[in-house]
Amino acid sequence: LYEVMQKKKKKRTQITDDPVKNFEKWKRKYNKTKKIVKRVQKTTKKRDWEVERENIQKLVKKYSEINPKEAVKFSDFPLSKKTLKGLLEAQYRQPTEIQRQTIGFTLQGRDVLGAAKTGSGKTLAFLIPILECLYREQWTAMDGLGALIISPTRELAYQTYEVLRKVGKNHEFSAGLVIGGKDLKDESEKIHRTNIVICTPGRLLQHMDETATFHASNLHMLVLDEADRILDMGFTDTLNAIVENLPTTRQTLLFSATQTRSVRDLARLSLKNPEYVWVHEQAKFSTPATLEQNYVVCELHQKVNMLFSFMRSHLKKKIIVFFACCKEVQYLFRVFCRLRPGISILALHGKQQQMKRVEVYNDFVHKTSAVLFATDIAARGLDFPAVNWVLQFDCPEDANTYIHRVGRTARYKEGGEALLVLLPSEENGMIAQLQEKKVPINKIKVNPEKLVCVQQKLDAFLAQEKEQKERAQRCFVSYLRSVYLMKNKDVFDVFQLKLPEYAMSLGLAVAPRVRFLNKAQQQKSGVAQDDSGAAGRVSEDELKSFTAQLKGECSKSQSSQSEEEEEDDDDEEKESLKPAALLCGFNEEDEDDQKDLDLLTVKRKDVFNINEESQDDEVNKQHTSVMCIVVSGSPVALHIGK
């Protein structure tokens, strides 16, 4: 026995001493253990969605502990890694006041009515909760519509969509713009598979009425951006109809820089126990602190000279000039270009051809110095970078419009200046309104010696070109009509305007005949023109419709065009129409006033530019899909859900 043991020991010693054999043995043992570990891991490893669910549960647990006062960075809120990454990549680190004050409530599922000054970051205040809501629900393409954002104009919808694409790029939700156009069918085929729809109210209602596959029964979140404007534009009934079609279990958020009684009524009807977040309620002023605001009183016939002189003395600035109506923008844009003020001029209004508007918008975004002549389609929500000046050539219809117009400058901590031009007859009424709305504005005087007179040049242009003269006439009539249709008669009195002088200031030798004014004048002086006595009187609805039409905000079908002077569309866009636009199949006849409440209209047929085959593939295989919209002729790809 002793011998046997000695032999074994010797053998063992031999093996231990042999490194090769030793290693092989070790390797066999290692592989065996590795296999066992793998088997165990395989049975216990969680799937991705399970890990995500755990993360979500951890986040949701923290919701009740949110303390907005202590939140300095976005990461101080219990937000998903995907959202935080998106925010960081877009250079958003610290929440603004409206974001800080609303994110907690919205994460907790509360309805919110949010108001904060222009340029204060309301867009992210509703986009972040949408992303978090769908993330929490582990939403996929198969779940369909989860969130709906309603904007008053197409351009605002487009802008919101762009911000969503930026901050939401790490999520896998699909997003789409539903902002009007002819090809309802094409949109209809995709809308029910889109997770986040950004839309204008009319088009959405059309889908609700006509698209059989469209249903919002799963909707978790509804956002009304610029709610007061949506209502002002006469969409109250549309909005009510939309809200009626949505599940009552949804969460609703309403945002605007200005709130009206109608918004409070809407909130009462459509929000459940809402949290009112009015960030600047206690603020001394309703406009940004970094905005310097002045006004000048100027006779109507001096306004053109004033504008030209202003431009000549601000050649290195980025300026937006607001006008009352499209025809004014059309005419003055043309003649100012010919006057060569030394700074580039762009024009943006509702009667422009689609592609042109997109082009102008993008041009102005990228310019460091330029003047944009615009109607109120550019007044709300647009976030053009680094605008130095907002000049209101024509008096805004009310203080809220004033606030939104000047809000295109002095955005997010930047500085800016605003100049309001008032007629002597408008001064008292308008300034009283602005004071009531806590707008700090000072009166300044124009130095008459510095005014450059351009009348003679305009006379010469008009003498050379018949078309120009016709444009001047349309501008004249259209401006008067806009004043005539204004509701607030304390501010706007068309009968106080000196017509021959105004006509001359536009380069017209004779003031054109304005039939509606003659009628109204006769009415005013007691001469009945109509048996019913109704001539010259305008109902509330008509007023709204006319006013919207003048600004290019409502459809021809919705509006009544009583004056032939207004009927012919300008051909400026036809002249500048690029072959690319034609190749894209854009139909100019599509273009009428109301669609043109929108600056950026997407070529309708390509709103969802997926060919049938690939769509099927997407759905069947649940692959990552791509939605394309065509803006300015070039496709923009969107990330989309599984």
Can you give the binding site for ligand ATP, defined by CB under 6 A? 92, 94-96, 99, 116, 118-124, 257, 381, 383, 407, 411-412
184 vs 386, which CB is nearer to ligand ATP? 386
The span from the CA of 431 to the CA of 428, in Å, is 5
383 vs 426, which CB is nearer to ligand ATP? 383
103 vs 332, which CB is nearer to ligand ATP? 103
Smallest gap from residue 621 Cβ to ligand ATP (A): 36
454, 304 contact by CB (below 8 A) = yes
Determine the distance from the C-alpha atom of residue 390 to the mean position of all C-alpha atoms in its chain, rounded to a whole number: 18
β-partners of residue 113 are: 254, 276
The span from the CA of 573 to the CA of 360, in Å, is 12
92 vs 373, which CB is nearer to ligand ATP? 92
The span from the CA of 254 to the CA of 263, in Å, is 8
Smallest gap from residue 120 Cβ to ligand ATP (A): 4
Rg (the chain; Cα; Å): 31
Residue 387, SS3 per DSSP: coil
> In what helix (H) or strand (E) does residue 522 lie, and over which residues does it extend?
helix 515-524
66 vs 337, which CB is nearer to ligand ATP? 66
Smallest gap from residue 186 Cβ to ligand ATP (A): 30
The span from the CA of 189 to the CA of 212, in Å, is 10
Handedness of CA 63, 68, 69, 75 (dihedral sign): positive
Smallest gap from residue 584 Cβ to ligand ATP (A): 29
DSSP annotation string for 131-192: HHHHHHTT--GGG---EEEE-SSHHHHHHHHHHHHHHTTTS---EEEE---S-HHHHHHHHT
The span from the CA of 133 to the CA of 250, in Å, is 11
- Structure token digits, residue 96: 């603004």
**C-alpha dist (Å) from residue 232 to 127, 237, 284, 581, 592:** 24, 11, 26, 33, 20
- Structure token digits, residue 289: 């602190």
Count other C-beta atoms under 10 Å from residue 27's C-beta: 10
Smallest gap from residue 89 Cβ to ligand ATP (A): 13
124 vs 514, which CB is nearer to ligand ATP? 124
Smallest gap from residue 77 Cβ to ligand ATP (A): 12
Smallest gap from residue 86 Cβ to ligand ATP (A): 12
Smallest gap from residue 127 Cβ to ligand ATP (A): 9
Name the CA dihedral angle for 58, 61, 64, 67, rounded to a multiple of 10 degrees.
-20
321 vs 483, which CB is nearer to ligand ATP? 321
Smallest gap from residue 367 Cβ to ligand ATP (A): 16
Smallest gap from residue 575 Cβ to ligand ATP (A): 33
92 vs 322, which CB is nearer to ligand ATP? 92
Smallest gap from residue 257 Cβ to ligand ATP (A): 4
Count other C-beta atoms under 10 Å from residue 283's C-beta: 14
The span from the CA of 457 to the CA of 207, in Å, is 51
- Structure token digits, residue 265: 């009524």
99 vs 425, which CB is nearer to ligand ATP? 99
95 vs 201, which CB is nearer to ligand ATP? 95
166 vs 498, which CB is nearer to ligand ATP? 166
